[in-house]
Chain A
Amino acid sequence: MSGNPPPIKISLQSLSDTKIQEIAYDGRETFIQPLSMSESLTDLANRIDFLAENEDEETQTDDATSTSVDEAQYQAKQWPWENIRTQIQRSVIEMNVLTDVLSIAQNKPTNVPKETAESSDSNRYMMYDFASKEAEPSKQSLQMITKKRCLGAASKILLSGADRLNKAKSESSFQNTYHSELLKLRQRWRVRRVGEKILGELSFRTAGSDYWHMGSFEVIKKSDEDSDTLDDYEQNLTKLTPNVPKSPIKVVVSSDLRGFSSLSVQIMDLSKDEAIESCTLSLSDIENSAMSSANDPLWHRVLCNAQNVLFCRELFARLSKEAVQQKTLGTASPIVVIGDTITTNIFPKIQLRVQLLFSKTHPTQRNPRQASIFSIQNALMHLLLRYFSKRLNISPPHPTTAALGLTTQMRHAAVHHNSLNQLAATAKKTSLSFVDVLISMSKHYEVRQRVCDTIKLLSNEFSDPDVLAHWSLASSKTESSARLTIANSGFESCYRSAVQVIVKPDCIKILQRDARSLTLSVDPTDLHNYFVSLVASHQLMTVQVLSRTLGWTMLHVSPHSSLGLTPDIKNRGSVLISSNNGAVSVAIACNEMIGGPIQYTTHVQYTKAHDRSQLEGTMYDDPDFSLESDKYLPLGGVWMKVNWPQLHGRHFIQKMETLLTSLVMTEICGKSETVETEQSNKPETEISTKATNDETVTKPKKELTATQKARIERNRQKALLLRQSRLSQQQLLGTKTTTGCSRIIDTGGGFLLEENPDVKPRKLNRVEEPAPVIAGDDSICLECDKPFQDSYLLTTYDHQVCDKCRDPEEKHSVITKTEARETYLLSEVDITKREPILKYVVRKNPHNRRWGDMKLYLRLQIEERALEVWKTPEALEEERESREQKREIAKKKKFNKNMKKLRQEVRSSLFEVKSKVHTHVFGPEKQSETDEDIYTKTCIECDHQITFEKM
């Protein structure tokens, strides 16, 4: 560098002491901050490298200075010197090691052998060894104490911190659960904020109730202290399910709603002083199953209970209000309302009692019998709901000046002629009496029970014909019906009586097969009497039919001859039949002992010629039935009484069959004889005539000897006797199928068993329990406004019109889906998807059975739907027209297009493309009024306007 000749003078100037860290693009310089004194000292100190010192330097002095420096630095304990200190320390160690090595090296004799030198040289040698630092003497106990103290302090800090964290967390979670619970509460109940409070309402007001009680409650946040304490009522609530989740919400309801309430309806038999039927009604019972679960929080239960109390009280209030207004209502005694009880006698000795129960404690578990529902629960609930909805859905007045609260019918009735009865009927239809329904339902229930009992009694009492009662499933709350079929087993095809028993609250109506209808009172004896006469007439009818099929002749029938020989026997009818030649007559009388079963008295009269030996033992002379008086002479002959137990057969009709067939049999047996007697006119000398007859028969053949004849006669007599004896034996023992009434029983297991007449077969007792009453409401026909239960239109189309008013030709005609779509311009979605979905009937396609099924909709409903879609018929008509037009246009377009194509193909040379381009033909230019430079010109042909500027 020095070699270079310096032609230019360079002046050097220190610009700044500090270094430039960075120069920004705008030329500004960022300086590194100048070091402070201590920092610069540290920097300088760091630069000192003691190890890099010259070896030749005087170690002693250096050592001394360095140690002094070291000492000083150590004393000073200043951070800047820390580095230097360690370096000095290291160098001191190095120095010490060096001096040691030097001293050993100095003292070592050079020429002495190693062994001697070591031995002689006062054991000075050098060893490389780790320098172990001497451990400090530890004071164990003291250390432990301090350690413990330190740990204790640390743990205390940790614990307090954790505690605080926990607290904060729980605080926030409590707040969270409070809000989430409040949200849950809001999902189930109506609450609103009023100032600082949160108030709610649990009345049925929005549903249409007008009960005075507001049923308001307040929601409050539980504080920590009272979160676990429950009052008696709440404890009662939680008794059943102890694992109620805790909640930070507490609801406060007014004290009169805190409790358990239910409405009990009882039918009491006053003579026995016991409840025939009872049921309790409470909303919670119904709700429990559907809405609430065991995990419901306490507030929900409190509110549910309160609402239940409110419900019961409202229902009871309505009942008692009506009960006070209408003192009697087809009941045996006036309706009495005392306190929380309404009582009345629906029938003599049968009391209906409605009671409002309220208690602060949980009611004890009801016994299962009491829980039996006789649908009053549902009916009352239904009534209340209907009352609510009726209150809400009163027809709005039109014009608005009209009175509020009238039904549409009432409004129209004001200006249209109506008879008083019609008006009364309308008023009755619209009025809704709770007590009325309750009483008629309970009456119906009671009457139904009576009918049921009577039928049961009847089927037990009469062992003979089978009585089958079928209770109809479809029953309303005040009407149920049973079909009673009476038939003899084995003779069902012969004759069968059937009656329909319709049970109403105030009477029992009976429809017979011959279309006669009887109305019986609700007194069970009435019904019993009717049933007895029914059974008797059934038996007599069966006898008639049977005798006719067996070829007997009916002489006399009297269905209801009430005169009997003795006053305590009621005659229920009698039949007199005779065999077709009049040889045997049978008289059957059906008697009923007072308070006893039906008896059948049968007398048989023979002509004198009749051989009655075969039925020996089954008949006897009736001492009561002596016909000695002259007036009985026309009856002729002797009447024998049949001993029924002796006859073969399981029941009366079978025995009757046996009797009749055997009588006919004997007749056939004795036929030849009778014929002969007629010929000879000497019935007394039977044998002799026969003998002569035989002679005449055998005469043409061959002359027989007297001995031969005698033998033949003897044999014949013997054979006859044998046959007769066998016959009678068989009939008496009944072992073989001779009379045609013994039957073979199919066991169903592949065996055919012969019937044992001694063992009575198990009696058929097919009396069913009546079906539960479904308290459904009758639908009301839209046409005639009469209630009905079921109809074709209702079931198939959900259209409330009864079968009587159905007009399949005109009003309720059907329409296919395709037709509906075309006529009413409905889309598929409108018909099949739009709510409510229309019902339809599927029929085979009449054009071709293989084509898709035809769906028949009700035209009425389709029309309604069309109106719904198109709003007005006019809109529909417009749409139809516009579519028609569109179709026309499209048709024309298509035609033209096809035509053009055809021309192109056929006479392409002639076809010329008409590609006409419109060229604007502008009119004169006009100057704008506002701006002089702006001009406009307009196309003459298409009104296109151009605005431009002229400079």
Chain B
Amino acid sequence: MVEPANYQPLSGEIPSNVNVQEYFLQGSILDANADKLKQRLQGLCDNVPPEPFTDHEQIYFLKNATSMLPIIVKACKSLVKPSTPWQIKYVGATEVGEHNKPTMIRSCVTVAVSNDPAQFLDNLGFSLQSEVILKGYFYRKGRLKITVSKISVPPTATCDTSKLEASASSHLVEVNTTASPRDETAGDEVKNFCQLLRPAIVLNKVDHRKLQQWQ
């Protein structure tokens, strides 16, 4: 049996075109109020219990010859479920856009890899910029992904999840979804969901360029 060329046994219902945009909004909440937010999220999101996760993210940079902005690749690994494959995520430049755009947009490509891609990325010329451990809860509503996580710096060598030192006294909250750039509704969907979280947390567009100026 010969399958047609566009047969995608793996992708399922995921849009298979590479040109995928990530629509997202970020914000932070103090630890003291995080529990309230979690309860609210559980009420708003799909009727499944929140999924605890601990992800190890390594952020690699590659100097771009044509542009000031470097090429950023994140290598992510789950510490809760070590058997799941690593993911490499290419993250494009964040477009804050005009006022009529509801969310920040960046292009992104996610690929599953079997081994630690450090060597591979190193060979390509990437250099490890920073690494963080995100520990928190994952929620979803339809195609929206909502994460409430605590950022901490990984201890050297061992990745003992129980002894993590938090780098700040607040949680990172991110609402995002991936869709094709033609999908007009995705951004609104994210925005509308974020409206529901008010006033517990106000998720707004943040100009990443200002944050990245220190580089």
Give A residues with C-beta under 8 Å from B: 206-208, 210, 392-393, 396-407, 410-416, 420-421, 423-424, 426-427, 430
Closest 3 CB pairs of A and B: A415-B114, A398-B78, A414-B112
CA distance A776 to B124 in the complex (A): 54
Contact B140 A396 (CB under 8 A): yes
Q: A404-B145, A426-B9, A427-B9 are in contact. Are A414 and B55 (CB under 8 A)?
A: no
User: Beyond the given A401-B55, A401-B89, A424-B1, could you list 8 further A-B residue pairs with CB under 8 A, ordered by the A residue number?
Assistant: A396-B53, A399-B84, A402-B76, A405-B13, A406-B11, A415-B112, A416-B114, A426-B9
B205 → chain A closest CB, angstroms = 21
CA distance A398 to B48 in the complex (A): 16
Question: In the complex, what residues of B have CB within 8 A of residue A210's CB?
Answer: 142
Is B46 part of the binding interface, using a Cβ–Cβ cutoff of 8 Å?
A: yes
Is B63 part of the binding interface, using a Cβ–Cβ cutoff of 8 Å?
A: no
Contact B110 A403 (CB under 8 A): yes
Decide if the interface of chain A is mainly helix, strand, loop or mixed.
loop
User: What sequence of 0s and 1s flags, for each residue 67-90 of chain B, a beta carbon within 8 Å of any chain A beta carbon?
Assistant: 000000010111011011111010
Contact A403 B76 (CB under 8 A): no
Is B51 part of the binding interface, using a Cβ–Cβ cutoff of 8 Å?
A: yes
Q: A208-B47, A420-B9 are in contact. Are A402 and B112 (CB under 8 A)?
A: yes
Contact A406 B89 (CB under 8 A): no
Is B118 part of the binding interface, using a Cβ–Cβ cutoff of 8 Å?
A: no
Is B211 part of the binding interface, using a Cβ–Cβ cutoff of 8 Å?
A: no
Contact A405 B12 (CB under 8 A): yes
Contact A206 B47 (CB under 8 A): yes
CA distance A113 to B122 in the complex (A): 166
Question: In the complex, what residues of A have CB within 8 A of residue B51's CB?
Answer: 396
For chain B, give the interface size range: 35 or more
CA distance A424 to B4 in the complex (A): 12
Contact of B85 among A400, A411, A423 (CB under 8 A): A411
CA distance A396 to B113 in the complex (A): 18
Q: Which partner residue on chain B sits nearest A207 by CB separation?
A: B47
A322 → chain B closest CB, angstroms = 14
Contact A405 B14 (CB under 8 A): yes
Question: In the complex, what residues of A have CB within 8 A of residue B76's CB?
Answer: 399-402
Contacts A/B (CB < 8 Å), 12 sampled: A207-B47, A393-B48, A398-B55, A399-B57, A401-B55, A405-B143, A407-B12, A410-B10, A411-B84, A423-B9, A424-B3, A430-B12
CA distance A208 to B48 in the complex (A): 10
Contact B9 A401 (CB under 8 A): no
Contact A396 B138 (CB under 8 A): yes
Within 8 A of A (CB), among B41-75: 46-48, 51, 53, 55-57, 74
Q: Which of A208, A404, A406 has the most CB of B within 10 A?
A: A404
Question: In the complex, what residues of B have CB within 8 A of residue A402's CB?
Answer: 76, 84, 87, 110, 112
Question: In the complex, what residues of B have CB within 8 A of residue A410's CB?
Answer: 10, 12
CA distance A402 to B57 in the complex (A): 12
Question: In the complex, what residues of B have CB within 8 A of residue A413's CB?
Answer: 9-10
CA distance A392 to B140 in the complex (A): 10
Contact of A424 among B9, B48, B140 (CB under 8 A): B9
Q: A405-B12, A405-B13, A424-B3 are in contact. Are A398 and B81 (CB under 8 A)?
A: yes
Q: Which of A398, A405, A411, A427 has the most CB of B within 10 A?
A: A398
Question: In the complex, what residues of B have CB within 8 A of residue A423's CB?
Answer: 9-10
CA distance A416 to B76 in the complex (A): 18
Q: Which of A210, A402, A411, A424 has the most CB of B within 10 A?
A: A402
Q: A405-B13, A414-B10, A424-B9 are in contact. Are A399 and B77 (CB under 8 A)?
A: yes
Question: In the complex, what residues of B have CB within 8 A of residue A411's CB?
Answer: 84-85, 112
Question: In the complex, what residues of B have CB within 8 A of residue A399's CB?
Answer: 53, 55-57, 76-78, 84, 86-87
Number of contacts between A and B (CB, 8 Å)? Answer: 97
Q: Which partner residue on chain B sits nearest A208 by CB separation?
A: B47
Question: In the complex, what residues of A have CB within 8 A of residue B11's CB?
Answer: 403, 406
Is B147 part of the binding interface, using a Cβ–Cβ cutoff of 8 Å?
A: yes
Contact B114 A401 (CB under 8 A): no
CA distance A206 to B141 in the complex (A): 11
Question: In the complex, what residues of B have CB within 8 A of residue A406's CB?
Answer: 10-12, 14
Q: Which partner residue on chain A sits nearest B15 by CB separation?
A: A403
Is B103 part of the binding interface, using a Cβ–Cβ cutoff of 8 Å?
A: no
Question: In the complex, what residues of B have CB within 8 A of residue A415's CB?
Answer: 85, 112-114
B32 → chain A closest CB, angstroms = 24
Is B21 part of the binding interface, using a Cβ–Cβ cutoff of 8 Å?
A: no
A542 → chain B closest CB, angstroms = 47
Contact of A403 among B14, B81, B83, B138 (CB under 8 A): B14
Question: In the complex, what residues of A have CB within 8 A of residue B83's CB?
Answer: 412
A206 → chain B closest CB, angstroms = 5
CA distance A411 to B27 in the complex (A): 29
Question: In the complex, what residues of B have CB within 8 A of residue A208's CB?
Answer: 46-47
A591 → chain B closest CB, angstroms = 46
Question: In the complex, what residues of A have CB within 8 A of residue B47's CB?
Answer: 206-208, 392
Q: Which partner residue on chain B sits nearest A403 by CB separation?
A: B14
A394 → chain B closest CB, angstroms = 8
Contact B138 A400 (CB under 8 A): yes
User: What sequence of 0s and 1s flags, for each residue 1-42 of chain B, a beta carbon within 8 Å of any chain A beta carbon?
Assistant: 101000001111110000000000000000000000000000
Contact A420 B145 (CB under 8 A): no
Question: In the complex, what residues of A have CB within 8 A of residue B107's CB?
Answer: none
Contact of A400 among B3, B9, B13, B55 (CB under 8 A): B55
Contact A404 B140 (CB under 8 A): yes
CA distance A552 to B128 in the complex (A): 94
Q: Which partner residue on chain B sits nearest A398 by CB separation?
A: B78
Contact of B87 among A392, A401, A412, A420 (CB under 8 A): A401
Question: In the complex, what residues of A have CB within 8 A of residue B81's CB?
Answer: 398
Q: Which partner residue on chain A sits nearest B111 by CB separation?
A: A414
CA distance A397 to B56 in the complex (A): 14
Question: In the complex, what residues of B have CB within 8 A of residue A405's CB?
Answer: 12-14, 143
User: What sequence of 0s and 1s flags, for each residue 142-159 of chain B, a beta carbon within 8 Å of any chain A beta carbon?
Assistant: 110101000000000000
CA distance A207 to B47 in the complex (A): 7
B20 → chain A closest CB, angstroms = 9
Question: In the complex, what residues of A have CB within 8 A of residue B12's CB?
Answer: 405-407, 410, 427, 430
Contact of B48 among A392, A397, A407, A414 (CB under 8 A): A392
B94 → chain A closest CB, angstroms = 16
Q: Which partner residue on chain A sits nearest B146 by CB separation?
A: A400
CA distance A397 to B80 in the complex (A): 11
User: What sequence of 0s and 1s flags, for each residue 103-128 of chain B, a beta carbon within 8 Å of any chain A beta carbon?
Assistant: 00000001011100000000000000
